[in-house]
Structure 1
Amino acid sequence: MSLSNLANQMNQSSSLIRKLFTEGLKLKQIHGKNNVYDMSIGNPCLVPPPEFKKTLISCASENEPYIHGYVPNNGILEARQSVSGLIKNLHNFNVPADNILMTNGAAGAINVLLRCIINPGDEILTFKPYFAEYLWFARVSGAKLIPIPTKFENNFQPEMETISKYINKKTRAILFSNPNNPTGVVYSQSFLNNVGALLDENSKKYKKPIYMIGDDPYQRLVYDGAKATTVFKSTTNSFSISSFSKDLSLAGERIGYLAMHPQQKYASEFIPALTTANRVLGFVNANRLMQKVISKCINYTVDIEEYNIRRKIVINALRRSGAPFVEPKGAFYVFPKVPKGMTDLEFVNILKDRLVLAVPGVAFGTPGYVRICYAYDLNTLKNGMEIFVKTYKEFNGAFDEKKREYENISNTVEMKI
């Protein structure tokens, strides 16, 4: 496949999340920003903690030579040491600074890693529902993404027997977000350990490492006593990828990291490979100023209780609506079922007609659901969820009776979204 063909496919299948985000901006221009209730894209609404701004000003005011110059491709030592300390504090696990690569967000880290482990034709497993961009991360690396089905009744957690059926000689890695985007489910350490044991067993069987990749940018956003869990305690063939986009509200600053298990078999080969990939993919190095800032305020976060307040607003509204959902214990998303008798695309378009934006489950490989993001202001959530409740009750099990009113929805879904 030529690059032009790949680019054309990506354009045609552009993320529904981004399309809805753009649609929301247009609707706000027409109806006013306070009258459009956009709960689509995971763009953190909270401002970074005050320590961040203070540190940013301090670092930007320094007058040392090359303050905005190149830094080592793997990142400045101070930043890597701070990440090492964060992993120790979160998971009681030691990852040396030399096993850490500073990256342009978590997405940059995933792409760097896949370029180092993937051969053409390899398969990457993930759990349904999954973050939409995984499909393209896999394709541009030459791999095929293989989604593993899960059940709502099992809290979207796949069974080991099911995972085992999807592992074969082409399997190279398993990649998943934890807490999960879009469900908010937090995978337990015992579950991760069982997955790790299964991968180790098959690594021996196929005489090659099958890697476990944790996509962990929400690991500090957990509620109701939930604990952050880690792939590092599950298998030595593991990588943890994260960013400060969510817990520090720095999504636009593109600062993250890739951490490798210290007992990784090919550690001495991985470090230079990852560093080189970071350079030749065009990232060169993670943002120098952000590395400096992060190294000094890595132990701070936004006020997580503010997200918990928003979470409760949304889940209480969902209970009133009657929509089945799994209560999220992490991240800032919830993934309820759509009304009986209609598709997620139909429901999303009806909501959009009423100036409420949510993402159809098909964007995450799981039709029949919608993703609601609660990283928004209270006005958006309260008013948007009231409309959601009324709309859900109106259409649940009665869509066929009302279909004439919306007879053009199915034919215009692609255009409208």
Structure 2
Amino acid sequence: MSIAKRIETVIAGSSWIRRMFEEGSELKKRYGAENVFDFSLGNPNLPPPPRFREVLREIIATEGPGAHAYMPNTGYPEVCGAVAGFLTGEQGVPVEPSDVIMTCGAAGALNIALKALLDPGDEVLTPVPCFVEYGFYADNHGGVLTTAPSRPDFQLDLDALSATLTPRTKVVLINSPNN
């Protein structure tokens, strides 16, 4: 079975981040993983804290009906509450638990949000450099990625963002901290 021509084109022009990751894998084989510092993807190069492993063991050992069932669509209420409390303290603005939706990763979250917000032809504006997958996420839901330059120190250039806004701009995507 053949795949869609559009997807063939995407695969053939895979992102430079993915190419760097693949090249990094080859360099690790050649020179040893300890001698190659791969900054291509967001894969951590450090082990998790010991407490993280302890909590995972506790969760695995949990027994009883529903102990390992699906969570509510928006996430566990107690986790949403903890995140809301943290963000309220960190950002200095009120965040309610109902304002928080938990997902399995940023890609899933962005695709859900863009599906809910975009109509065909709507624009998603983001400063560059940005994660190259944003263009695919916008395209998945009929949107178009538009970009605005950052300042030389990679901080937001609000004038450039403002100048790039159009009547079709539906989403301004700010990734903080930007990777």
Amino acid corresponding to residue 70 of structure 1 in structure 2: Y
Question: Structure 2 matches for 1:226-305, cutoff 5 A?
Answer: none
How big is the shift at 1:70?
2.1
Q: Is the 8 A contact 2:151 2:157 kept in 1?
A: no
Give the alignment's TM-score, normalised by structure 2. 0.87
Q: Is the 8 A contact 1:127 1:148 kept in 2?
A: yes
Distance 1:179 1:145 in 2: 20
Distance 1:42 1:12 in 2: 22
Q: Which residue of 1 aligns with 2:167?
A: 169
CA-based RMSD of the aligned residues comes to: 2.0
How big is the shift at 1:117?
0.3
**Structure exhibiting the larger radius of gyration computed from Cα positions:** 1
Deviations 1:293-322 (A, max 9, x none): xxxxxxxxxxxxxxxxxxxxxxxxxxxxxx
- Going from structure 1 to structure 2, the CA distance change for 1:113 and 1:144 (only over 3 Å counts) comes to same
Distance 2:94 2:27 in 1: 48
Q: Which residue of 2 aligns with 1:157?
A: 155
How big is the shift at 1:46?
2.1
- Going from structure 1 to structure 2, the CA distance change for 1:98 and 1:169 (only over 3 Å counts) comes to same
Q: Which residue of 2 aligns with 1:11?
A: 11
Deviations 1:57-114 (A, max 9, x none): 1111111212222222111212211211221231132222122111011111111100
Q: Is the 8 A contact 1:148 1:158 kept in 2?
A: no
Q: Which runs of 5+ in 2 are unaligned?
A: none
Distance 1:148 1:114 in 2: 19
The 3-state SS of whatever aligns with 1:148 is strand
How big is the shift at 1:174?
0.7
Q: Is the 8 A contact 2:124 2:143 kept in 1?
A: yes
Structure showing greater relative contact order (alpha-carbon pairs closer than 8 Å, 6 or more residues apart):
1
Amino acid corresponding to residue 38 of structure 1 in structure 2: D
Amino acid corresponding to residue 25 of structure 1 in structure 2: S
Count of residues in Structure 1 that have an aligned counterpart in Structure 2: 177
Deviations 1:261-305 (A, max 9, x none): xxxxxxxxxxxxxxxxxxxxxxxxxxxxxxxxxxxxxxxxxxxxx
- Going from structure 1 to structure 2, the CA distance change for 1:38 and 1:164 (only over 3 Å counts) comes to closer
Q: Which residue of 2 aligns with 1:77?
A: 77
Distance 2:177 2:127 in 1: 12
Distance 2:158 2:142 in 1: 27
- Going from structure 1 to structure 2, the CA distance change for 1:179 and 1:33 (only over 3 Å counts) comes to closer
Distance 2:156 2:91 in 1: 23
The 3-state SS of whatever aligns with 2:88 is helix
How big is the shift at 1:11?
0.8
Distance 2:36 2:141 in 1: 38
Q: Is the 8 A contact 1:124 1:138 kept in 2?
A: yes
Give the alignment's TM-score, normalised by structure 1. 0.40
Q: Which residue of 2 aligns with 1:147?
A: 147
Amino acid corresponding to residue 78 of structure 1 in structure 2: E
- Going from structure 1 to structure 2, the CA distance change for 1:37 and 1:90 (only over 3 Å counts) comes to closer
Q: Which residue of 1 aligns with 2:94?
A: 94
Distance 1:158 1:31 in 2: 38
Q: Which residue of 2 aligns with 1:111?
A: 111
Amino acid corresponding to residue 111 of structure 2 in structure 1: N
Distance 1:132 1:58 in 2: 37
Percent of paired sites with the same residue: 36
- Going from structure 1 to structure 2, the CA distance change for 1:158 and 1:40 (only over 3 Å counts) comes to closer
